[in-house]
A and B are shown apart, each in its own frame.
Chain A
């Protein structure tokens, strides 16, 4: 079947079997290997991508289901050579050890911060509870997301000084 989707802002097409999983389309047809396959059983979240802005486990979605829709992967975070605030946060706070869970963690974090610019630590921990880090690097991952939250809010305040100054 023909699928057409917008991935990281670019329109892409592929001819696929209906049984092809979205993660395989992304990695093998579109050659975007930043999205990882971990458990392959909807548990670990390494394959997390954004489907129309919401995090989903791409090992548990058929590629044909994404046709006509928008997918964001870790490759789309960096813009014009500038890292996304979430990537910056993971770098600054050392939010990774082996790095395998990192793309999924970051995509979940991006979606969280878009919905809630200033999450509490509990909200962060709940949001990433579907992403497993086998290195148990959660303390620094939480710090990385807090770092990103702070820098994103600062950047927004600089952009909108008038509204930021108002009570």
Chain B
């Protein structure tokens, strides 16, 4: 399959990329890893007149923990997966990176692209919702830090302005007695999730849930935060009863639709089961386990 023709630019400076994007009058698409954009172009579902390739810009790929955790938008999923700080301190993010597409796709796919593409089936969004992350964007008017709850507007639609580029993901620093997990059910490696569930817990001194974050993949027009499920946990000991109540709530507030991956009722039950499993793993990790 051959994409429609386009003009190609590969600036070496971010400011130049922003300038070119701003001057394109909405006709340009930003190319990061290209593992979603290029297939869309081959199917002619996307036919941008201009491609602005970010891959020649240095300094956009990094994982740093100073204060909060900062992940450069052009960080490849495979580098995220192998990052020691991610593996040791942000297991939920390592879980997520490890189940995106397949290992070859992960050599090119980027974190920024995964988020900016805003596919409800992409895996990072649910995890970032659970972690109360922020998306950093740069445009002609400067830098903007967008809370993740305000980022996803609809399927393939974010609150980014047409001339803004995602430059970084920020995640609150991992605290003692906190932990999370991401669990995805897929038909086979490389497929989109039937359902994915991200769960993150912060326990207090008594072992009760101080804060809970639960994000759901591919059961709504965007990745969605399961707020009722979070409320079902807050202030309670994360025992089987509380987890079961949260899992029921998450299933109830999920919005699955029937497709070739199964009927809606089935997916709703998968939300319940995966929420239970993700919460159990989150509790174990918050208590110092793997």
Contact = CB atoms under 8 A, between A and B. Distances in A.
Contacts of B7: 18
B190 A130 contact: yes
A62 B48 CA distance: 14
B107 interface: yes
Interface string B69-106: 00000000010000000000000000000000111110
A130 B191 CA distance: 11
B2 interface: yes
A61 interface: yes
Given A41-B39, A60-B38, A129-B102, A18 B1 contact: no
Contacts of A60: 34-35, 38-39, 105, 108
Interface in A10-60: 17-19, 21, 40-43, 45, 48, 54-57, 60
B290 interface: no
A46 to B, nearest CB: 11
Given A18-B7, A64-B8, A130-B190, A108 B51 contact: no
Contacts of B104: 45, 48, 55-57, 108, 130-131
B40 to A, nearest CB: 11
A19 B190 contact: no
Nearest to A131: B104
Nearest to A50: B107
A57 B42 contact: no
A1 interface: yes
What size tier do the contact residues of chain A reach? 20 to 34
Contacts, number: 76
A91 interface: no
Nearest to B50: A18
A126 interface: yes
A127 interface: yes
Contacts of B15: none
Contact of B5 (A19, A42, A43, A57): A19
B3 A19 contact: yes
Interface of chain B, main secondary structure: loop
Interface string A116-139: 000000000011011100000000
Interface in A101-127: 108, 126-127
Nearest to A104: B104
Contacts of B55: 65
Given A18-B8, A18-B51, A61 B105 contact: no
Nearest to A44: B190
Nearest to A42: B39
B42 A40 contact: yes
Interface in B93-125: 101-105, 107-108
Contact of B101 (A1, A61, A130): A130
Please name the 4 residue pairs, one residue from A and one from B, whose CB atoms are nearest each other, closest first.
A130-B102, A18-B8, A130-B104, A129-B189
Interface of B: 1-8, 10, 31, 34-35, 38-39, 41-42, 51, 53, 55, 78, 101-105, 107-108, 189-190
15 contacts: A18-B8, A19-B6, A42-B101, A43-B190, A56-B104, A57-B105, A57-B108, A60-B35, A60-B108, A62-B8, A62-B34, A64-B8, A65-B10, A126-B103, A130-B103
